[in-house]
Amino acid sequence: MSIWSRIAEALAALAKGEGLAAVFDRLRGPRERGVVFAIAVIALGAKMAKADGVVNRVEVRAFREVFRIAPEDEKNAARVFNLARQDVAGYQDYAERVARMLKDQPGMLCNLMEGLFYIAMADGDYHPDEDAFLADVAAIFGLSESDFTRLRARFVPSAERDPYEVLGVRREDEMKDIRRAYHRAVRESHPDLLVSQGLPEEAMKMAEKRMADLNKAWDEIREMRGEAA
């Protein structure tokens, strides 16, 4: 069963008048992490669309930056988006629920932030209100300020991009330590590991971009240090 079929089941179980908060309350256990991830990305993306005052900007096509969505599954993604957009619950409520559900999976919360950055940049523009929204969600998720800055450096072209920051190392670190950090980051970004942690296979585009960013940062550091031959 695809993740979109499972999302359809979760939505079908909603009683009249219930919002997405009820869906989050029903989704428990490791098997449901992928569903939680997909719904959280779409729901928080919908709330973020309101943050910059352009509600119609984030549509199904924006979520294609994160997920593989077959034409027949678009209606389920759109329904999650519309429910979140209409829900009286604020984005902090969604973020806090997700943070509680994934508290033992900090990597998944970081993956979720990556998904939100994808959506924020879907139109090629990064609004100051989106930045404030994402910084607040990251804080609720328990990400450090340096983690958030590193993510922003990867996704936002106008942000100052420091390859050392992308790899989570310092400029004064020895090359052997930077190399070790790079290989560790590559291992942690392997698709098989991410799937085992709960990242939906439909969202593997994220793993591909992360790997590309890590490789680019590593190549830049090697070139700066004269090891790029």
Give the model's confidence band at 174: pLDDT under 50 very low, under 70 low, under 90 confident, else very high. very high
Residue 229 lies in a domain: no
* DSSP structural state of residue 2: -
How does pLDDT run across 99-132, given as a tens digit for each residue? Answer: 988 888 888 899 899 999 988 888 788 888 899 9
Do 94 and 21 meet the contact criterion of CB atoms below 8 Å apart?
yes
Total of domains in the chain: 1
DSSP string, 184-203: HHHHHT-HHHHHHHT--GGG
Q: At which residue do the structure tokens 């779409």 appear?
A: 42
Give the alpha-carbon dihedral of 145, 207, 160, 130, to 10 degrees.
-60
The pLDDT score that the predictor gives to residue 188 is 86
Residue 163 lies in a domain: yes
Domain of 193, in residue numbers = 3-224
Mean pLDDT of 146-150: 87
Residue 81 lies in a domain: yes
Q: How many Cβ atoms sit within 10 Å of the Cβ of residue 23?
A: 21
Do 46 and 120 meet the contact criterion of CB atoms below 8 Å apart?
no
Residue 32 lies in a domain: yes
* Cα gap 92→72, rounded to integer Å: 31
Mean pLDDT of 192-203: 78
Do 212 and 46 meet the contact criterion of CB atoms below 8 Å apart?
no
Do 115 and 151 meet the contact criterion of CB atoms below 8 Å apart?
no
The pLDDT score that the predictor gives to residue 160 is 66
Q: Take residue 26 and report the two structure tokens written for it.
A: 């029903």
**Long-range CB contacts for residues 7-15, cutoff 8 Å, separation at least 24:** 7/35, 7/38, 7/39, 7/76, 7/77, 7/80, 8/76, 10/35, 10/39, 11/76, 11/79, 11/80, 11/83
Burial 100-112 (b: 16+ CB within 10 A, else e): ebbeebeebbbbb
